[in-house]
Amino acid sequence: MLSRPPLDRIAFLGISWYSLFIVTGVVLGILLATREEKRLGLPKDTTIDFAILAIPLALVGARLYYVLFQWDSFSEDLLSIFDIRSGGLAIYGGVLGGLLAAWLVSKRKQIALSSILDIVAPSLVLGQAIGRWGNYFNMEAYGFRLSDPALQFFPFAVEIPVGSVWYWHMATFFYEFCWNLAVFALLMGIRHFTRKKGDVFCFYLLLYCAGRTVIEGMREDSLTFINEFVRVSQILSALACVAIVIVFYLRLKHKTQPFYLLPIAATVLALAGCFIGEFERGAYANLFTAAQIIMLALLVCQIALCVLCFINARRRKLKNLVPLTVASLFTLGILLSGLGRADANNQLFVSWRQIACMLQMIASGMLLYPFRRQSPAPARAEHR
């Protein structure tokens, strides 16, 4: 029933479905952040003050980000930059606008910026999940065309019209909707066990960006620069994951222990495996063997980490074992299923390999982060 989005993008009274979902996400996000504001003991109306600034700044940031990487489409008609009803918003630009708003509110109210980021992180990813349904009605944010009839079904695929003909494409908007909901659920659990202010936002970046790195590689309408193989949001997502892993590593006291060095090595290998796949998928099929060798090296690191976890009772914890085991099994599966595929069409196989790489990014962050149960927040307002 949902395989073909309606051609009419208007919901009612001239209001588009896209804007309806965005407004719904914003309203629910404000309500949720207000609850987090009380839980963390922040000054009253911190969320409202943030929202008043964040909504316009996020809109401007989302538009400028899109225009920057689609400049050829606007260079001959500068007034079209202001025609946002015709489409053209990018979520990362909106996030940057929101970060600016959070900084301004933190300065004005004398609240730690990290605390504001923590209260808005779950709301942000929930809003992103809801907003993806706006992409469905706009018939955008879809993936590769699928010619195999066995894959032509919703929610795996969605039909997109070209003229009067409908073609099946990967429903990447739906993949991200599901991933964002999963990240939202994880953040709602993690927030009770973080050690420092700002860590909830750090986990938002690690988890959301890991999924976005994979999904962005499947999309056909990504913003690119230099050439069509270099996807802006995919690069930012992967680098954000690496940055969070490094932040967690730098906080450790005993950085030179093998147990802490191996996740860094695995992260580097995962980053390499992810991006060599993009060029392999784009035009350099001869990179397949090199990519699989990188995955083999990654598996060796994962096995070593598993051994270190099992021989040390302190590290034999679910938060270490579950992500690491899942990532290791996925990597092993990629290596086994890659046998004999050197000369095959590996467009989708690259995405499976990238999933293995991003699972390791998440596992590395979990291995390097020491969770603990938080004590209840004081009732008084929290200032710097």
List per-block mean pLDDT (blocks of 10 residues) for the chain, which spans 384 residues.
82 85 94 94 93 94 88 80 78 93 94 95 96 91 91 93 91 96 96 92 97 93 76 92 96 89 96 90 85 96 94 88 96 95 89 96 95 61 48
Q: How far is Cα of residue 164 from the mean position of the Cα atoms in its chain?
A: 34
Q: Which tokens sit at 165?
A: 């003909």
| Distance from C-alpha of 253 to C-alpha of 218, rounded to nearest angstrom | 39
Quick one: tokens of 301? 């690191």
Residue 93 near residue 65 (C-beta atoms within 8 A): yes
Q: Which two tokens stand for residue 145?
A: 């065309």
Q: Which residue has the tokens 């938002």?
A: 204
> Quick one: tokens of 57?
């700044």
**pLDDT given at position 374:** 63
Quote the CA–CA distance of 132 and 212 in Å, as a whole number: 12
Q: Round to the nearest angstrom and report the end-to-end CA distance of the chain.
A: 52
Q: Is 120 exposed, middle or buried (0-12, 13-18, 19+ CB in 10 A)?
A: buried
Which of 205, 47, 63 shows the shortest CA–CA distance to 125?
205
What is the CB neighbour count within 10 angstroms for residue 257? Answer: 11
Identify any residues that bridge with 227 across adjacent strands, giving them in sequence order.
Answer: 225
Q: What's the confidence (pLDDT) of residue 379?
A: 46
pLDDT of residue 14: 80
* pLDDT for the residue numbered 90: 86
d(CA 166, CA 88): 23
Q: Are 70 and 88 in contact (CB under 8 A)?
A: yes
What are the angstrom distances between the C-alpha of 41 and each of 37, 45, 48, 313? 6, 11, 15, 36
- CA-based nearest residue to 94, from 138, 55, 148, 40: 55
Token code pair at residue 264: 């860094």
Tell me the C-alpha distance between 384 and 109, whole Å. 10
| CA–CA dist 314, 257 (Å, integer) | 14
Residue 332's closest CA among 295, 287, 294, 288? 295
- Please give the distance of CA 354 from its chain centroid, rounded to a whole number: 13
Cross-strand partners of 166: 161
Instruction: Tell whether the torsion through CA atoms of 336, 342, 348 and 352 is positive or negative.
Output: positive
Rounded to an integer, what distance in angstroms lies between the CA atom of residue 179 and that of residue 158? 17
Q: Which candidate, 24, 54, 51, places its Cα nearest to that of 37?
A: 51
Written as one string, the DSSP assignment of 137-204 is: HHT-S-B-B---GGG-STTTEEEEEETTEEEEEE-HHHHHHHHHHHHHHHHHHHTTT-SSTTHHHHHH
